[in-house]
């Protein structure tokens, strides 16, 4: 599974594949429907490359909008994620764009990808993590992401063991090729962490799930 919110954004999720062009309208939240046969898609994050690169450039050129809170102006480079509500404790690796201009993601289903061409977790902006919902062996790291609720906590750790906690605000699902790229990857004064994975039925004609699930979270104050 590759999270792809039509993620040819400035990147690509799945086990962390995710991405795709901005949408004028968003789809309503939906639950994951397991495919009859477990299958892995290598493009589950399909945000369009030109849109991703433009969004990344905007983030890099943006000036700080307000004073840094808690000394997190530069954010952290995450190496581990914990989501107690769904029993997730996984490795996080940094990924950029693949050859198709999508957010690259790990081949294995138990590793989470951080889009390292965007904001770092804890810094102003939208930081993005992506993970597979399933793979050839069955459920993957973000299989239960759809079970999260507003108020649930997500903990990130850097290589020194420093922790940051983000609180779930909302959840939305979008067609894999029609997601709001700027809303997920773009600049903002808030310190957000957005998690992406695949959801919906698996479409064998295109080799990916029909929708992308995005969980929106904010840095705990």
- Determine the Cα–Cα distance for residues 221 and 209; give it in Å rounded to an integer: 35
SS3 51: helix
- Any idea which residues carry the catalytic annotation? 132, 198
Q: Where are the alpha helices (DSSP H) in the chain?
A: 49-61, 181-185
Opening angle at CA 167, ends 162 and 172, nearest 5: 130
- Determine the Cα–Cα distance for residues 209 and 5; give it in Å rounded to an integer: 10
10 Å CB burial of residue 207 (0-12, 13-18, 19+) is middle
SS3 2: coil
10 Å CB burial of residue 103 (0-12, 13-18, 19+) is buried
């Amino acid at each position: 599974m590759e999270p792809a919110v039509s993620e040819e954004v400035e990147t690509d999720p799945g086990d962390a594949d995710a991405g795709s062009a901005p949408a004028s309208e968003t789809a309503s939240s939906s639950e994951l429907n397991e495919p009859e046969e477990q299958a892995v898609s290598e493009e589950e994050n399909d945000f369009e490359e030109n849109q991703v690169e433009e969004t990344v450039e905007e983030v890099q050129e943006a000036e700080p909008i307000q004073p840094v809170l808690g000394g997190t102006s530069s954010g952290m480079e995450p190496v581990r994620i914990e989501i107690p509500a769904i029993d997730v404790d996984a490795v996080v690796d940094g990924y950029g764009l693949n050859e198709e201009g999508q957010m690259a993601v790990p081949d294995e289903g138990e590793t989470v990808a951080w889009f390292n061409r965007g904001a770092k977790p804890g810094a102003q902006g939208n930081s993005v993590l992506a993970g597979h919902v399933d793979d050839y062996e069955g459920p993957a790291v973000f299989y239960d992401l759809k079970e999260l609720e507003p108020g649930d906590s997500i903990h990130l750790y850097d290589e020194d063991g420093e922790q940051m906690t983000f609180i779930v605000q909302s959840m939305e699902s979008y067609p894999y090729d029609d997601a709001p790229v700027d809303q997920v990857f773009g600049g903002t004064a808030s310190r957000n962490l957005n998690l992406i994975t695949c959801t919906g039925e698996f479409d064998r004609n295109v080799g990916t799930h029909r929708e992308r699930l995005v969980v929106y979270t904010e840095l705990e104050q």
